[in-house]
């Protein structure tokens, strides 16, 4: 994590362990980021599409940089996206993993937030950047529509929806470019190979948001490599003003599935087993 340096990723300065009478404890020294979480902004409903697209463009740029280094976040959710006056920061790489490793936690658990888990993560496969792109699609959908593509009352229902239920179409949004609607649905494809990579998503989002991109990326058509996409740099006062307007009426009401908590971050194998057994019995 300390090797990731990008304007849209929180900076990690140091990490290690300290020992005392109570044992050994890990520590992380990170950049101080002041702003509001995307979860807080979304508690008031959908964002103006221009703000939603710009925020997600910066998340996609952060993911592009991470994936280029072989790092998969595995918990791209609204609480882990901080919106500041200078731009967006992707936070909390606490359960990140290296591409190609077994996609499990320390106790052979599936880790992550049920509402943002890609369906293939239930298969106990290998860590794959496509799972972050799926979560990006959910972020984009939520920011545009003001709600998730599915309704789920429990973690188990959320996991089942990703595997078995097609996402509801985005509602009509005046002025939203068709390529953003298309991108959102492609990011939510059940099959990882049917999704764009983070660099491709960053390019489409940045262009729709009016953020300049490198000429090499703009001419790359369908084949966009991570190194072709620059950082979606902080955009100054215009961004700060748009975000302030979008969040002016933030309420205290948030959806249960978006509240961070231990049950969201770690799904016991027993829960997943129940889902799989239920699917086989159906």
User: Measured in Å, how far apart are the chain's first and last C-alpha atoms?
Assistant: 42
Dihedral (Cα; 217, 69, 180, 239), 10-degree rounding? -90
Angle between helices 130-145 and 49-68 (to 10 degrees): 170
Task: Tokens for 197, please give them.
Answer: 């990579």
At 90-140, the pLDDT tens digits run 998 888 888 888 776 665 667 788 889 899 987 878 889 999 999 999 999
Dihedral (Cα; 197, 49, 73, 259), 10-degree rounding? -150
The CA distance from 275 to 279, in Å, is 6
The confidence score (pLDDT) of residue 213 equals: 55
Do 125 and 152 meet the contact criterion of CB atoms below 8 Å apart?
Answer: no
Q: Residue 81 pairs with which residues in a beta bridge?
A: 90
**In this structure, are strands 266-267 and 110-111 parallel, antiparallel, or unpaired?**
antiparallel
The confidence score (pLDDT) of residue 273 equals: 39
The segments of the chain whose pLDDT lies below 70 read 1-2, 104-109, 212-282
List the chain domain ranges.
Answer: 12-247+260-281
**DSSP collapsed to 3 states, 154-193:** CHHHHHHHHHHCCCCCCCCCCCCCHHHHHHHHHHCCCCHH
Do 95 and 265 meet the contact criterion of CB atoms below 8 Å apart?
Answer: yes
The confidence score (pLDDT) of residue 1 equals: 55
14, 75, 103, 106: the catalytic one is: 75
Look at the domain 12-247+260-281 and name its fold: Transferase(Phosphotransferase); domain 1 (1.10.510)
The CA distance from 120 to 153, in Å, is 21
The CA distance from 106 to 108, in Å, is 6
The confidence score (pLDDT) of residue 87 equals: 85
The confidence score (pLDDT) of residue 179 equals: 97
Question: Does the annotation count 92 as an active-site position?
Answer: no
């Amino acid at each position: 994590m300390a090797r990731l340096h990008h304007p849209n990723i929180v900076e990690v300065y140091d990490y290690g362990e300290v020992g005392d009478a109570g044992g050994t404890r890990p520590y992380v020294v990170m950049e101080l980021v002041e702003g509001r979480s995307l979860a807080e902004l979304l508690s008031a409903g959908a964002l103006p599409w221009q703000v939603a697209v710009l925020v997600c463009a910066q998340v996609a740029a952060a993911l592009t940089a991470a994936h280029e280094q072989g790092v998969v976040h595995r918990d791209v959710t609204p609480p882990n996206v901080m919106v500041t006056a200078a731009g967006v920061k992707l936070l909390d790489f606490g359960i990140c993993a290296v591409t190609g490793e077994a996609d499990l936690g320390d106790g052979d658990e599936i880790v992550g937030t049920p509402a943002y888990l890609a369906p293939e993560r239930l298969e106990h496969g290998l860590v794959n950047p496509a799972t972050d792109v799926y979560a990006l699609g959910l972020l984009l959908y939520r920011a545009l529509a003001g709600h998730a593509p599915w309704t789920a009352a429990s973690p188990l229902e959320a996991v089942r929806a990703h595997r078995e239920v097609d996402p509801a179409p985005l509602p009509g949004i005046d002025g939203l470019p068709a390529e953003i609607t298309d991108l959102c649905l492609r990011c939510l494809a059940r099959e990882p190979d049917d999704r764009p990579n983070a660099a491709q998503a960053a390019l489409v989002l940045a262009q729709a948001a009016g953020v300049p991109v490198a000429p090499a990326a703009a001419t790359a058509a369908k084949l966009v490599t991570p190194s072709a996409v620059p950082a979606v740099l902080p955009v100054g006062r215009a961004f700060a003003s748009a975000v302030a307007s979008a969040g002016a009426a933030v309420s205290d009401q948030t959806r249960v599935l978006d509240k961070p908590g231990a049950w969201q971050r770690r799904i016991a194998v027993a829960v997943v087993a129940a889902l799989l057994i239920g699917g086989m019995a159906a």
